[in-house]
Chain A
Amino acid sequence: MARTATSARSSRIGLTSTSGKVLASVALLGVAASVAGLGTYGSFTSTTSASETVTAGTVDVQLGAAGTTANRLTVAATGVIPGDTIQRAATLTNAGNQNFGAVTLSTTAVGTPTLLTTDALNGLQVAVDACTVPWTETGTAPAYTYTCAGTTTTVLPTRPIIGTDIALTNLASITTAKADNLRVTATLPTTAGNTFQGLTSTVNLAFTATQRAATNR
């Protein structure tokens, strides 16, 4: 009796055995696929669509063409002595299709730095102002001077020439398609001593515009 019962148990496939589990899984998948198929073919369907075009805005700040009255920054100044000022005009334009949130100025020394750029107190100082109309240029290169027939506003008060992300204020070019008539003035203080003689420095002036604050569009 005992041997017969054992034989009967071994011929059945139970859910606890591996084979049983495999078979049960296959069966379950089959049923599910069948039901899903029936559901797909048995439903009414309807589809509609719409397209939405999203165009990213552009942030584009531009200086005037180098060497022209729209950008005299690249005209080198030589023979500078303490108390001298170097005036250069440049046009800054918002050429993108979005307002700017801010415009900053970052200045870096190109090549080997000298006292002109490393001495924050006695080295070169810079200031930027804007005129509501284009500056009137007088003098011959490189000794340009500028007068404003409109209204002058301070964009950057006098400060050491080297700096990073310096905030600029009172700019019309914050608004798209607007431009600023800038005058950049560099000064060698009268306190610059004998050690400043015969030095040459190039400073890269980078104007960086950042997008306006995000809004609903």
Chain B
Amino acid sequence: MGRRRRPRRVRFLVRVLIGVVLSTWLPTAAQAAFTDADAAPVAVGTYAVPAPASITGTFSCQNNRLSMSVTLTDFGAVHRATAYTVTLTAPNGQVTANSLPAGTRATTITRTSTTVGTYTLRVRASVGTWTGQNLERVLACP
């Protein structure tokens, strides 16, 4: 009546398990070293190009309201702007655009249309490759 022996497969699996545990633990122990760290946070926020704050000028309609001219005398400067774009969109969707250098905030823009309706004036700033929000005005011929 000898002791009952575990099946050979169980003993093999136990040995494999022990081997895996040791191979995982031993390198960790071997690589232990004194370390120390110090840290600091760096916060960075990017610019969001705003719309010009205000606009000053006049507009007039010609050719039985099928054309409009807008004369801008000034609009709010945008910090760090490298250029401005003024667009006038006709009732039929066609657009005229004027590009202005950063130091210029006055221009005259004209747009014709095949249909009668409201025109939309937009002014926006650019900062390098970034474009800002539009300052928008809807203009209706009297």
Distance A124 CA – B44 CA, assembled complex (angstroms): 9
Query: Please, which residues of chain A bring their CB within 8 A of the CB of B46?
Result: 79-81, 116, 188, 192, 196-200
From A71, A83, A201, contact of B43 by CB (8 A): A201
- With both chains docked as a complex, state the minimum distance between the C-beta of A141 and any C-beta of chain B, in angstroms: 13
Contact, CB under 8 Å: B43 / A202: yes
Report B72-94 residues with CB < 8 Å from chain A CB. Answer: 79-80
Q: Mark B33-68, 1 if CB is under 8 A from A, else 0.
A: 111111111111111110000000000000000000
When C-beta atoms are compared, the residue in chain A nearest to B40 turns out to be A73
Q: Interface 1/0s, chain A 74-96, versus B by CB < 8 A?
A: 10111111110010101010001
Contact indicator A110/B41 (Cβ below 8 Å): yes
Stretch of A30-38, A44-52, A60-68 that contacts chain B: A60-68
CB < 8 Å neighbour of B128 from A90, A96, A190: A190
- A184 adjacent to chain B (CB < 8 Å): yes
Q: Given the complex, which residues of B lie within 8 Å of A140, measured CB to CB?
A: none
Q: Is the CB of A80 within 8 A of B45?
A: yes
Q: What is the predominant secondary structure among interface residues of chain B facing chain A?
A: strand
Number of interface residues of B (CB under 8 A): 24
Task: Count A-side interface residues using an 8 Å CB cutoff.
Answer: 53
CB closest chain-B residue, reference A56: B34
* List of B residues within 8 angstroms of A61 by Cβ: 36-38
| B24 close to chain A: CB less than 8 A | no
Near B by CB (< 8 A), chain A positions 165-196 give 184, 186, 188, 190, 192-194, 196
Give the contacting residue for A83; candidates B38, B49, B128; CB below 8 A: B128
A57-B34, A210-B34 are contacts. A190–B40 as well, Cβ < 8 Å? no
Q: Is the CB of A209 within 8 A of B42?
A: no
Give chain B's interface residues, CB within 8 Å of chain A.
Answer: 33-49, 79-80, 127-131
Given contact pairs A81-B127, A193-B130, enumerate 18 new A-B contacts (beta carbons under 8 Å): A58-B34, A60-B36, A73-B40, A73-B41, A74-B42, A76-B45, A77-B43, A78-B45, A80-B46, A82-B129, A184-B42, A190-B129, A197-B46, A200-B43, A202-B42, A203-B41, A209-B35, A210-B33
Residues of A near any B CB (own CB < 8 A): 56-63, 66, 71, 73-74, 76-83, 86, 88, 90, 92, 96, 98, 101, 110, 116, 124, 184, 186, 188, 190, 192-194, 196-211
